[in-house]
Amino acid sequence: MHISSINVYDAKNIHDVLNLLDKEPGRWSILAGGTDIMVQLDLGTWQAPNLINIWGISDLSGIRINKNEIEIGALSTFSEIINHPIIKKEFPMLIEAAMLTGSIAIQNRGTIGGNIMNASPAADTPPALLAYGAEIELTSKNEVRRLFYKDFHINYKLMRINQDEILTKIILPRTSNKTIDFYQKVGTRAAHSISKACIAVRLTMDKKTITDIKIGLGAVAPMPIRVYMTEDLLKGNKLSMDLIDQAILQIASEIHPIDDIRSNKAYRLRVAINLLRNFLKGLL
Ligand SMILES: Cc1cc2nc3c(=O)[nH]c(=O)nc-3n(C[C@H](O)[C@H](O)[C@H](O)COP(=O)(O)OP(=O)(O)OC[C@H]3O[C@@H](n4cnc5c(N)ncnc54)[C@H](O)[C@@H]3O)c2cc1C
């Protein structure tokens, strides 16, 4: 579809967006920062003729700090996230992911909501959100509902969102526990390139026993994933070389990378294994 055949409606506020989605579900798509949509328009792969422009709707941006959680408006840009002192302190993997997303121009325009909703398996913030146990808020004219982000992606570009809903918030649970975070993206270059593989891990340890662990991965399956069986294998156990070897075997059977223009299945598998192994070995 060519840009000249696109119909863009500039929404004035969130009610305007929700009314339109309610009245004509499936007819409208959301235009946020436009960094993904513009590329798809340019390539001729964008199919939706009607866009609701939400850029500038203040209800959808902003970062709110509550006692037990942090709410990030879906329209918050990577730059806004990078510059937030509390996110920097408590959720460093999200900062790292945002800093590795594209160039500064992309960080100033691209939004966290767009990163989730574009649903690229190789997007940079989803692994961090998965490792943090994030929730998301979906809003329609008649309902506001919350969902654990781990349950949102069903398959490639397939998500648990209805045609009359918009992603409004990302919610990060705060913790007072001492946690260890590890985020690494492997691309052609560290920055300005799309991931060949990406891992985010948050864990807690008591002496050498892993008391809790969440592992988020990007570019190793049709969607961003957690590796629950690997997490279960590690959880409650004392870290040892033997346990690490078992975890490596487990993660290798749990991920399903593909061959594409950026990399191949064997390389992605090897990288994901090495990233986890090296991180865990560093904790011995
Ligand atoms: C040069 C370049 C480099 C890039 N590098 C990276 C990179 O390193 N890592 C990375 O992860 N990404 C990268 N991207 C991709 C892109 O910048 C991000 O995915 C960005 O977060 C998209 O946000 P946006 O606001 O621009 O989304 P848009 O382009 O506006 O929208 C993307 C999709 O999300 C939907 N959408 C947006 N917001 C909402 C909402 N609130 N509710 C429902 N649906 C919504 C839109 O309908 C559309 O389908 C790059 C893009 C470019 C052009």
Nearest residue (by CA) to ligand 1, atom 5, is 102
Interatomic CA distance for residues 129 and 115, integer angstroms: 11
Domains (ranges, CATH) in the chain? 3-53 (3.30.43.10), 59-173 (3.30.465.10), 180-281 (3.30.390.50)
Mean pLDDT of the chain: 94
Average pLDDT value for residue range 54-65? 96
**pLDDT(61) > 60:** yes
**pLDDT(15) > 90:** yes
Atom of ligand 1 nearest to the CA of 36: 29
How confident is the model over 215-232, as pLDDT tens digits? 999 999 999 999 999 999
Q: Is the CB of 29 under 6 A from ligand 1?
A: yes
How confident is the model over 89-99, as pLDDT tens digits? 999 999 999 99
How confident is the model over 160-217, as pLDDT tens digits? 999 999 999 999 999 999 999 999 998 875 556 787 889 999 999 999 999 999 999 9
Nearest residue (by CA) to ligand 1, atom 14, is 102
ipTM above 0.95, yes or no: yes
**pLDDT(39) > 80:** yes
pLDDT of 189 reads 59
Q: Is the CB of 129 under 6 A from ligand 1?
A: no
pLDDT of 153 reads 98
Nearest residue (by CA) to ligand 1, atom 25, is 33
Residue 217, strand partner residues: 199, 225
pLDDT of 195 reads 79
Higher-pLDDT residue of 235, 6: 235
Confidence band, pLDDT 50/70/90 cuts, at residue 264: confident
pLDDT of 196 reads 84
Atom of ligand 1 nearest to the CA of 122: 11
User: Residue type at 255?
Assistant: I
Higher-pLDDT residue of 257, 284: 284
pLDDT of 192 reads 61
Interatomic CA distance for residues 278 and 173, integer angstroms: 27
pLDDT of 197 reads 87
Atom of ligand 1 nearest to the CA of 30: 47
How confident is the model over 112-124, as pLDDT tens digits? 999 999 999 999 9
Ligand 1: distance of its center to the CA of 51 in Å?
14
pLDDT of 190 reads 54
Interatomic CA distance for residues 202 and 182, integer angstroms: 7
Query: Looking at residue 121, what DSSP letter applies?
Result: T
Sign of CA dihedral 255, 260, 265, 266: negative
What percent of the chain has pLDDT above 70? 97
Q: Is the CB of 98 under 6 A from ligand 1?
A: no
Ligand 1: distance of its center to the CA of 43 in Å?
15
Ligand 1: distance of its center to the CA of 55 in Å?
13
Q: Is the CB of 96 under 6 A from ligand 1?
A: no
Q: Is the CB of 194 under 6 A from ligand 1?
A: yes
Query: Looking at residue 235, what DSSP letter applies?
Result: T
Q: Is the CB of 37 under 6 A from ligand 1?
A: yes
Rounded (10°) CA dihedral 121, 123, 125, 127 = 30
Average pLDDT value for residue range 142-148? 98
pLDDT of 191 reads 55
Pocket mutation for ligand 1, best pick of 29, 30, 196, 223 (most atoms within 8 Å of C-beta): 30
